[in-house]
Amino acid sequence: MGKKKRLGIHIEGSIYAVDEHVDIDHDEFLDKFIDFVEANGWMFGGGTYQVDEDGEAVK
């Protein structure tokens, strides 16, 4: 019998501030997100990028 595969969570979506006049700083978000992930003994593998209100990548 083979080794059981680990289960994880795939996240796909966008995060915006509740206040529509506030933008989320990408670096600040990543710092808080990684702190949250690591505080729970988890790890994150993947990428992130800033998007506008239409979900389009900001260059």
- Provide the b/e sequence for 14-30 (b: ≥16 CB within 10 Å): eeeeeeeeeeeeeeeee
* 47-56 residue pLDDT tens: 999 999 999 9
**Cα(51)–Cα(36) distance, rounded to whole angstroms?**
21
Q: What is the pTM of this model?
A: 0.82
* 5-48 residue pLDDT tens: 999 999 999 999 999 999 999 999 999 999 999 999 999 999 99
Helix, coil or strand: residue 35: helix
